[in-house]
Chain A
Amino acid sequence: MTIDSELLRLLLYVVGFIAFIATNAAYLVWLERKEAGHIQCRIGPKEVGPFGLLQPVADGLKLMTKQLIIPKGADSFLFRLGPVLVMTPAVMCFVTIPYSDTIVARNLDVGLLAIFAFASVNVLGLLLGAWGSRNKYAVISAARVVSQNVAYEIPMLIVIVTMVMVTGTMNLHEVVTSQNGGFWHWNIFRFSASPLMPVAFLIYFVCMLAETNRAPFDMAEAESELVAGAFTEYPGMGFGVFFMGEYANIVVGTSMATILFLGGWNCPFGLWPGLHWFLIKMYALIFTVIWIRWTFPRTTFYSLLNLSWKVLIPVAFANLILTSALLKVL
């Protein structure tokens, strides 16, 4: 009996991705709690295992042993579908992300498009799950999440369009190879294409925070006003899957930032490129995401929309026009 080697390869990649996502979700929670602790002059988890390293295992066990209660009158199908719809697209995004020159599951020619197509599905998951749980807080949260994501997807995609114009391809592998060499070749410093490149990176980063529902844009959860927002009725692993999905989305978002702006697996000084540089950049960005969460309070809903419609979208458009003008002229 022969095993289709291509099939085996894909299967291994899928297993690898799921393991990568699960460990990341578990240990990013640990990192988040440690970082939050130190920012607040505390220690963070320390009792379970050395440096509290087994804390995620304990948390996972606790979540898994909890009963999965479906509230009375809830739409049980949508209620169960919600977490799945948040988690699955996040996993699918990993398929086309190149981690190094050789590590990529499928080098799609429209990889960029595929990722942003999948990434926008997670809003649907939140909306359906929140609607299905028949809870007023969840529904308010769902309404907020949808308008927030619609508002922030526009500047994000404008920035992406700019990047596609600059690099001339949607293939993520080619996007990275076009930035080969030292850090002055990276897109964030490509001033010949547009002097506003660092601003474009900032816009992308802010939109990524909003898209992954991270503080200061965590309208989906907003525990001080909406109990737990969309997750109010979710017990045990239902909530756990939402949580893993959130962290998986952060990993996807920061990976994309690394690929589009920070030169992917390239070394800043042109030496020893490889997977390690990708991971260093990605985790530095994740550190910043967590750092931002523990610095700024949650914005109000109106200032959140104002920021998008009055600042990010006009600046992103200005950048787009400037870039296309420069591309035509130069």
Chain B
Amino acid sequence: MKAYIRDIVNGTWSLLVGMAITIRYFFGPVVTLQYPHQTVPMKPRFRGHIDLVLDERKGTNKCIVCNACMKTCPSGCITLEGEKREGVKQKVLTYYQLDFTKCSLCGLCVEVCPTAALDFSKDYNLVGSQESEFVFDLLKRLEERKQ
């Protein structure tokens, strides 16, 4: 008889504890992120595809066309071209293509770059219907970012 009553009392009490917990959550903050309307700020360590870094002083990229990134890339997804211009000490980058369909985000290109001209972008909204949409012209992207 004692055990029977204890069972009922303890059971009722545990139900009340459960309800107290849920009502606390009911009045608590909502954690949903309304994705298309809101976005998460990415953490510094997030690795998106690579992007050229904007040199604030010169207003252009930091690349010296040493081709280190192209050579070190294990998947061979980087192609770049540069030219020598009058009055400029280093070579100037004219074309930088990243084939993101092959990239494995290993980050060796970022590590090897002597002038820290490359960095991971924070872009995670990549979507496309064709393969060619994932072949990026990074110079063009840098120009777009400048505006």
Interface set of A (CB-CB < 8 Å, partner B): 35, 37-43, 291-292, 294-296, 311
* Residues on the B chain within 8 Å of A39, using CB: 22-23, 25-26
* Residues on the B chain within 8 Å of A38, using CB: 25-27, 30
With A39-B25, A311-B8 in contact, is A291–B19 under 8 Å at CB?
A: yes
CB <8 Å contact, B31 and A295? no
* Residues on the B chain within 8 Å of A37, using CB: 30
Mark out the residues of chain B between 17 and 51 whose CB falls within 8 Å of any chain A CB in the assembled complex. 18-19, 21-23, 25-32, 34
- Report Cα–Cα, A37/B31, bound state, in Å: 11
With A296-B15, A311-B8 in contact, is A41–B22 under 8 Å at CB?
A: no
Of chain A, the residue at the smallest CB distance from B29 is A41
Best-surrounded residue of B8, B21, B30 (most CB of chain A within 10 A): B30
- Report Cα–Cα, A39/B18, bound state, in Å: 12
CB <8 Å contact, B22 and A42? no
- Report Cα–Cα, A323/B2, bound state, in Å: 23
* Residues on the A chain within 8 Å of B31, using CB: 41-42
Size of the chain B interface, CB-CB below 8 angstroms: 16
Q: Is the interface of B mostly helix, strand, loop or mixed?
A: helix
CB <8 Å contact, B26 and A291? yes
Interface set of B (CB-CB < 8 Å, partner A): 8, 15, 18-19, 21-23, 25-32, 34
- Report Cα–Cα, A292/B21, bound state, in Å: 11
* Residues on the A chain within 8 Å of B15, using CB: 296
Further contacts, 14 of them, CB under 8 A, given A41-B25, A292-B19: A38-B25, A38-B26, A38-B27, A39-B26, A41-B28, A41-B30, A41-B31, A42-B30, A42-B31, A43-B30, A43-B32, A43-B34, A295-B18, A296-B15
* Residues on the A chain within 8 Å of B27, using CB: 38
* Residues on the B chain within 8 Å of A291, using CB: 19, 22-23, 26
- Report Cα–Cα, A144/B25, bound state, in Å: 33
Best-surrounded residue of B18, B29, B31, B32 (most CB of chain A within 10 A): B32
A–B Cβ pairs within 8 angstroms, 26 of them: A35-B26, A37-B30, A38-B25, A38-B26, A38-B27, A38-B30, A39-B23, A41-B25, A41-B28, A41-B29, A41-B30, A41-B32, A42-B30, A42-B31, A42-B32, A43-B30, A43-B34, A291-B19, A291-B22, A291-B23, A292-B19, A295-B18, A295-B21, A296-B15, A296-B18, A311-B8
- Report Cα–Cα, A309/B133, bound state, in Å: 67
* Residues on the B chain within 8 Å of A294, using CB: 22
* Residues on the B chain within 8 Å of A295, using CB: 18-19, 21-22
* Residues on the A chain within 8 Å of B8, using CB: 311
Of chain A, the residue at the smallest CB distance from B23 is A291
- Report Cα–Cα, A37/B23, bound state, in Å: 12
Of chain B, the residue at the smallest CB distance from A41 is B31
Distance (Å) between the CB of A294 and the closest chain B CB?
6
